[in-house]
Amino acid sequence: MRHFEQELEKLKAKLLEMSALVESAIYRSVQGVVEKSEDLAQQVLRNEARVNQLEIEIDDMAISLLALQAPLAIDLRLITAAIKINNDLERMGDLSASIAQSALALMREPVIRPMIDIPHIAGLAQSMVRKALDAFVNRDAEMARSVLASDDAVDNMRTASFHELMSFMEKNPQQIPQALWLLSVIRNLERIADHATNIAEDVLFMVKGIDVRHHNEERTAVNQ
Amino acid sequence: MRHFEQELEKLKAKLLEMSALVESAIYRSVQGVVEKSEDLAQQVLRNEARVNQLEIEIDDMAISLLALQAPLAIDLRLITAAIKINNDLERMGDLSASIAQSALALMREPVIRPMIDIPHIAGLAQSMVRKALDAFVNRDAEMARSVLASDDAVDNMRTASFHELMSFMEKNPQQIPQALWLLSVIRNLERIADHATNIAEDVLFMVKGIDVRHHNEERTAVNQ
């Protein structure tokens, strides 16, 4: 294996390490909300520094590869995709930390019913992150496409939860603060799913050279 | 001027064009909310396709420059920064489109009081975008630092509006749906400010080689 290919493998391995950390942050932050576990929420906040450190390491690796190897074509697309994926993963780490903060805020409040959907949305978002990274590492267009499909499912679940929380608030104005924290958790999970979708779109561009970004232009047009 | 430098200038000009479009989308989407102007909101939705198109063009320009010129050191950092800034600008375009959607949803509802803060937050977010891009184009570290300071101001305004909207909802449960749309507008403005902050951090890294990303680790630590 050429030295350059070894370096590319290291870059991929580092991105997988970061992705594993982020997946576990999503899981723990949501369990922090659902199980009212201060310990899990604190773990997420403590691990954020490691995610941030990895982001810097991965950027440095990618920039060195560009500087030293002047790669062409598919390798160049792989490295520029890695820079973008790195950015998205770091944002997901931030979003998990926000969910952990919501968990802490909700710690002493009674559980309210609409929360039951949160673990489903979280499970889906987490599997989207894993699939998007697997698609990147294995240059797997099929897998990347499955992430795009899941994003629509997350949007539908989010809309349903949103309406449920809204009527809950109308009926229980004294519980509005809790409901707003839950709404924030759901929004953050939706944003995590959006970032996973971005990654899947970058993978499709890298593998196929097809630009599927902004595949949902039609949807926006319908809303007009 | 070398051919390579001309190409870099073109890349910067294209990013400024994109930034101008995004700034105007922020302004129009918020005016759509404040003035209940369906026309302004629709303009934002129509212009989204242009923002998306520019994102693809800028990525292509950056990747060609990397492939054909194999730039080193400061030029390499400039081009990788451009790829990230492009990503952030496109996300801001999406967020403005979400604000425009909120404007349409709020079109026939009576105005509620907490809205008065929204134009202030929007004005600040918009000026952060402009300053971050000026800092990039002029390699101006001072300007980039001023963006980081504004981000704290936006966070404070967001927290104040959030509390105001929360007590509004508790007192007026029948107006919860409108209040939630306004909350969504404020959150989206906060996210726009976050993206401008990302850009400013990338500029500081590019200019000084200093990594100021995650400058608010201490703040997270305090929250633990």
| A140-163 pLDDT per residue, tens | 999 999 999 999 999 999 888 888
Residue that is written with structure tokens 């991105």 in the block = A15
Strands (E), B83-210: none
The answer to whether the beta carbons of residues B136 and B77 sit under 8 Å apart is: no
- pTM of the model as a whole: 0.83
Is residue B75, in this structure, part of any structural domain at all?
yes
| pLDDT tens by residue, A20-71 | 999 999 999 999 999 999 999 999 999 999 998 999 899 889 988 888 777 7
B203: CATH: 1.20.58.220
Quick count: other Cβ atoms within 10 Å of Cβ A122? 26
Please state at what angle helix A118-137 crosses helix A141-171, rounded to 10 degrees. 160
Nearest CB among B45, B169, B171 relative to A224 is that of: B45
Model pLDDT, residue A177: 87
- ipTM here: 0.75
Model pLDDT, residue A108: 81
3-class secondary-structure state, position B157:
helix
Tokens of B113: 């009081």
Better pLDDT: B116 or A85? A85
Is residue B221, in this structure, part of any structural domain at all?
no
Is residue B83, in this structure, part of any structural domain at all?
yes
Better pLDDT: B10 or A205? B10
Model pLDDT, residue B9: 92
Give the range with max mean pLDDT: B130-134, B170-174, B203-207.
B130-134
Model pLDDT, residue B98: 93
Contact state of B223 with A101 under an 8 Å Cβ cutoff: yes
Q: Residue A218 — pLDDT band, cuts 50, 70, 90?
A: very low
Is residue B199, in this structure, part of any structural domain at all?
yes
Number of independent structural domains in chain A: 1
Is residue B154, in this structure, part of any structural domain at all?
yes
Contact state of B173 with A177 under an 8 Å Cβ cutoff: no
Contact state of A220 with B177 under an 8 Å Cβ cutoff: no
Is residue B200, in this structure, part of any structural domain at all?
yes
Is residue B86, in this structure, part of any structural domain at all?
yes
Is residue B99, in this structure, part of any structural domain at all?
yes
Per cent of chain B over pLDDT 90 is: 55
| Phi-psi region at B140: left, alpha or beta (left = phi > 0; alpha = psi -120 to 50) | beta
User: Between the CA atoms of A61, A43, B222 and B127, what dihedral angle is there, to the nearest 10 degrees?
Assistant: 50
Q: Say yes or no to pLDDT of B82 above 90.
A: yes
Q: Say yes or no to pLDDT of B193 above 70.
A: yes
Model pLDDT, residue B214: 55
| Alpha-carbon distance B33 to nearest alpha carbon in chain A (angstroms) | 15
User: Domain limits at B186?
Assistant: 3-215
Give the whole-angstrom CA distance, residue A130 versus residue A180: 28
